[in-house]
Structure 1
Amino acid sequence: MKIARFNGGRIGLIEGDHLADLTEAAGLDPAAWPPVGMVRFIAEHAENPTGIAALAAGAPRLSLDQVRLDCPVDWPNKLIAFPANYQAHIEEQKTATHGVISKFAAGGQGFFLKANSSLSGPSDPIVLPPVPDREIHHECEIAIIIGKGGRAIPRADALDHIFGYSCLIDVVIRGKEERVMRKSYDSFCPVGPWIVTADEIADVTAIETELTVNGEPRQKASTRDLIVDIPAMIEMASAVMTLYPGDIIASGTPSGVGPIEEGDRVVSRVAGVGALDLKVVRGEAGMHAVWDKPSG
């Protein structure tokens, strides 16, 4: 199943080129603050996602081309990210001006958190801050959406805690400042276009990803090449903190990262999930003296 968030917080089930609006059937108020409707929806259906289809009976249908798709999970408890999780990416960073941030092997350096406010959706542009003399790069990743929460989840049970998957682009200002700051600008974590439930992905060790900029291939990889694979990400993160329904884990990027500029079109695809097709624009806010020094 494909579950979407649309038109300012409504929840829908994708059916071909239409969408069944489940909002009222699920008892959700799209105007509620904070906007945790999808988190509640995931929590209520994590144990039995097949029950979602029953909500669609009698639900109003809308054409997909008549709705605005939003970030699937707008208000997760946390947004977890795994750095340097493909060996080829580590090697390319060694020769970059900014270099590799951590000296630990990827399997031993853990994870970090991005600001939840960096999340944006498939209808939103990537907004570049005015930081002259700095490159801003794309990173093609998979969003792993937690369904059933838990703490100290063993590897053998990890996949049972996944609600679904989505496309994710981790945008970053290159440099050696604190990673969280460089990756947490508004719009620096597009996710979408929807969540594909976990039962739709037959083999999590063979998910193909790719990213293009203006039609030029930049990144292409498979989860078979992950250093910390998907079950290990859940095992590691839950060893430290309780995972909650709707939490997002970003898988880490393969090689081929590169700069994006105002006017670019970035398309990131995850096989079996879909694609994010985004414009890149230049914003006015975001300059700070911290960016005045060289990136190297």
Structure 2
Amino acid sequence: MSFETDMIIDRRRLKRRLTFWRIVGVLAVVAAVLTALAPFDLSVNKDRIARLEVDGIIVDDRLREEALADIAEDDKVKALIIAINSPGGTFTGGDSLYQSLRKVAEKKPVVTVMGGTAASAGYMIAIAADYVIASAGTITGSIGVIMQTADVTGLMDKIGIKPVVVKSGHLKAQPNPMEPFSEAARRVTEGIIGDFYDMFVEIVIERRNLPKSTAYELADGRIYSGRQAAANGLIDAIGRESDAIKWLAANHNVDDQLPVIDIKIDYEDEPWRELVGKSLGKALFSERLRLDGVLSLWHPEGYLD
């Protein structure tokens, strides 16, 4: 056999080997991708129970509402668990989330599991569920709303600063730290607070099936332990997530062996949301200034993650 023939044979062998290893490499990449996506496929294509974690301060959240709308229409999701650890937040944030959860509840069973705290707007969203469970030591209740301001005009006088405010009417931009809080402004503000408060209590009356007088008596702003809340009809039972799953199985024939999959919300384009929600308890004074409007919030100064 000539030298040239040997060269040709060797080249063909080398080419076959390169082709083989290229195929092996491609298959390895495909296998790695499939392995990485395996958990995702399990959660999307198989029956499951979804879990929504509400942790920290509650604010308006379009992405969360869209995720819940998808959950409502997903036939593979057999039930929703709301896991709450929140002292509340803005009234509109709580109300928006409450409405979104009620839409889910129209399509499938929803159960709430309260963590360490589920107060104020945190309680509002909790009672969107068909069944509410808390730990004995959960801090809940704090049914009410609050709007806070400060009058710094006296301090400004002492340091020689005189604010100048030009506005179209005497009730514009009231309350305002740069002006004394007039009686007319106070009456208007109290009227707004009263209206928001009535809306909150009406939700409690409807969802907890309480007499109006009882609901207003309980809704004086105080907090309750989980045991006290159960005794007063504000929640259904003392327990944990395993008890929620048992309730779903007993009352809605939901398979108690289904996996519980967290709802993942991609905040890549809005990273500030997670920052506000989870860091508020640690850096409250500066963060609290970002919460505009009427709040439904339980003493966040004492709130810890």
TM-score (norm 1): 0.20
- Greater Cα radius of gyration, structure 1 or 2: 2
TM-score (norm 2): 0.20
Is the strand fraction higher in 1 or 2? 1
Is the helix fraction higher in 1 or 2? 2
